[in-house]
Structure 1
Amino acid sequence: MRASVESDEVYVALVSDLARTALPTTILGVTFAGVGLFVAQALGHAGLTAAVASGVLACLCKLALMIGQTRRLARRPYAPREARLWEWGHLLATIGVASSVGAFAAMVFAQPQMEPQMLATGLLFGYSSGVVAHLFIRPVLACGALLLAVLPAIASAAWFGDMPHRILAAMFGLFLVGALQSVFSAHRKAIRQIRLRLDMAALARSDTLTGLANRLGLREAFRTLSGTGDDSVAIHCFDLDRFKPVNDRYGHAAGDALLQELGARLRLIVGPPALAARTGGDEFVVLQPGVRHPGEAERFARRILHALSAPYRLGPETVSVGLSLGFACAPSRTADLEDLVRRADAASYAVKRQGGGVAPSGPAAGPPRARAGADSVPATCR
């Protein structure tokens, strides 16, 4: 049911929007119950009563599904695999509603009385317009509902009626084609709007220079962590030693280029679910979830040190900078971001106070550089 043009984020957003159709579903259920029972009683047709009962039951199931989905979304976003399960639930409930509406309309048009047919026509048009207006976000779902609801009415009106009914059946067919086209057109527009919304949200959570997360992105990533109760989360804080001489000697453009290259290196070694963020000029934070023991955090810290301490090529020049890195750990179920950052920052500043990572460079080596040795990784894990 997922379109090829939908990315994971777009797909999850579209399926999530299915939970926001409770009001039109409620209106449909009430209308179907009122109109359907009136027509069934007027015609004395047991089949109409059964169609109304099944349609109202399907509406109630769909409302219960939306309530459960809304509560689930209130906790945290879900992955595409879970979104697919919710979509299948909506598909089954929608099939129940649409087939009930279609069966009801078909049975009414098989009767000779005109008044019930007028009510059935109004119900059918109301349901179809609601499908186009609210289910276009899932085109397969919307098109299936339209076909199940309208095709039985077309067949019944054309088979059992006279010439005016055949004209009505042709009108239903034309309106059905227009409704299907409207569904796909609205779906394409929805994808464009959601992509724009996601892009704007990503910009709000990203550092424009390095492409890493910013403070907001870091907080959101930390908030979405789900601890298993027996693992920990680590926060690594570091800043660059003697970064200012690079700016002073080569200019701010060279400093920006260095930070961009540093961000690219971080993205290579920090993959999901870990996250790297730039929180200041040359200040960075790395979030490392799923830590089973402090040794994992220390090994990860040394990987960061090794990768970022390698020389940087800035045009014709090659420069080196170091970093003072500290990290802190806490159990995932009780971890607090601000406390972890504070402890990791304190460990990082301890490196600078000890002076163990700073050494001047030779005259031919360019600007001063910082040496990031193995002793530059203090940690506070508990």
Structure 2
Amino acid sequence: MWRRLGQTSRSSERLPDAAYVELVDMVVRPALPVVFMGVALACVGLLLASRKQDIVLLVLTFAAMAVDVASVFMVLAYRRRTAEATIVADEARLWERRYALGLFSFAALLGAINARGLFSAHPVDSALVPMLTSGMAFVFAGGVLSNVAFRPRLCGIGIALSATPTIAGCLDRAAQATDIHVAVGFALQALLLTGFALAGLGWASVTYEGAVRQIVSKLDFAIMARRDDLTGLSNRVELRDRFDAAVAGLSEESDLLAILCLDLDRFKAVNDSYGHLTGDMLLRAAAGRLSSAVRREDTAARLGGDEFVVLQTELRRPGEALLLAHRIIRALGAPYEIEGRTIQIGVSIGVAIAPRDGVTLEQLIARADAALYRMKRSGRGGVVFADEPPPPSAANDL
């Protein structure tokens, strides 16, 4: 069981960031279980302290209540933060640590309250103390399993901190009991709590694995919906999202972004001569070169056929778009080796700059596309800006 829990915990370290963030959200977001456990422990702790006239129990109870209140405020702060913007994996790890600190502190205090109630001087056959302590141990373990099962390591440590002192106290009561029925009853109570905890940890591992499969499948489908099937480049959906994010991030008047519309030269001749299978292989090869030519913060997308678009962000001057365009021309214009054939194509590029040539994606693509076809009419293999005429000899750009 512990080996499997360890394997599950290690596998969680290899999760995709988006899946990890979603798992943390499933654990940290709920507030009602935290509130319920705090109220329940307050009632039990105060009742035990009153019954046993024990100041230590009272102090432990107030400490647990303080931890629970702090945990509630932490959950509310997390909700406010995630309402502002999506968090990344590093920040999610910070929130998980905060949640774990509250969970472990509360579990340890619950275990201490139960141990104090069971081990301290009291008639060994009294039903009130073992009933309340074991009841709280079961309720807390069940609550942790229902709310934290998606993070098995947290689940296992939390249950161990609360259940172990309670099990030890029940076994101590069983050893002290003079009546065989009382002794067996306490021993059974310890056995039941142990079995519940171990079975719960196994269930937590299964729950975690199922949740991970669902989340990863959902993320895969989401990625597929934003990617071109043939080339793996972004499609129109992702291009628009990236464009909107880039526009929202323009903080200074000097910031610019560029839209580069690309069209492969002589691609139709390749398709007609060698067939669509070779044409598809050529498109995938060209897309790979295009991805390598752009920066990580830029976006390369395929709109269809042999038409591509590049979103270039964080520009200070239009000349940076010209440099990228020439880099793309060199990369895509080099010979391709496909199925034993050497194939040579080129690429023509039209460029529009925001906000000079437009402020919406549609405006910029239309201006860049118009520049591209001016380029193709006058000669292929070059680059033209939306506000410029085509160069006298486009072929020199290859």
1:220-274 deviations in Å (ceiling 9; x for gaps) = 3345557372444433232334543433333332322221111111222234222
Contact 1:19 1:67 survives alignment (8 Å): no
1:164-223 deviations in Å (ceiling 9; x for gaps) = 323322332232222222222322222222221211111111111111111222233345
The residue correspondences of 1:46-125 to structure 2 (distance < 5 A) are: 46-110=55-119, 111-112=122-123, 113-125=126-138
Normalised by the size of structure 2, how large is the TM-score? 0.81
Aligned mates of 1:169, 1:54 — CA distance in 2: 26
3-state SS, counterpart of residue 279 of structure 1: strand
Contact 2:332 2:347 survives alignment (8 Å): yes
Q: Which amino acid aligns with 2:144?
A: V
The residue aligned with 2:23 is 14
Matched, 1:320 2:354: no
Structure-2 change in CA distance of 1:47 and 1:290 (3 Å): farther
Matched, 1:145 2:158: yes
Aligned mates of 1:41, 1:219 — CA distance in 2: 64
Structure-2 change in CA distance of 1:222 and 1:137 (3 Å): farther
Aligned mates of 1:330, 1:16 — CA distance in 2: 38
The residue aligned with 1:158 is 171
Contact 2:226 2:237 survives alignment (8 Å): yes
Which segment is superposed worse, 215-224 or 199-208?
215-224
Equivalent residue in structure 2 for 1:268, among 284, 287, 292 = 292
Q: Which amino acid aligns with 2:186?
A: H
Aligned mates of 1:93, 1:293 — CA distance in 2: 51
Equivalent residue in structure 2 for 1:134, among 142, 147, 167 = 147
Count of residue pairs the alignment pairs up: 362
Contact 1:309 1:323 survives alignment (8 Å): no
Contact 1:154 1:172 survives alignment (8 Å): yes
Aligned mates of 1:322, 1:56 — CA distance in 2: 68
Overall identity of the aligned pairs, in %: 35
Matched, 1:378 2:385: yes
CA shift at 1:97, angstroms? 1.6
The residue aligned with 1:192 is 213
The residue aligned with 2:318 is 294
For structure 1, the residue ranges without an aligned partner over 5 or more in a row are 359-370
For structure 2, the residue ranges without an aligned partner over 5 or more in a row are 1-8, 178-182, 388-398
3-state SS, counterpart of residue 213 of structure 1: coil
CA shift at 1:94, angstroms? 1.0
Contact 2:301 2:309 survives alignment (8 Å): yes
Structure-2 change in CA distance of 1:98 and 1:341 (3 Å): same
The residue aligned with 1:348 is 369
Matched, 1:35 2:35: no
RMSD: 2.8
Contact 1:137 1:186 survives alignment (8 Å): yes
Normalised by the size of structure 1, how large is the TM-score? 0.84
Q: Which amino acid aligns with 1:296?
A: E
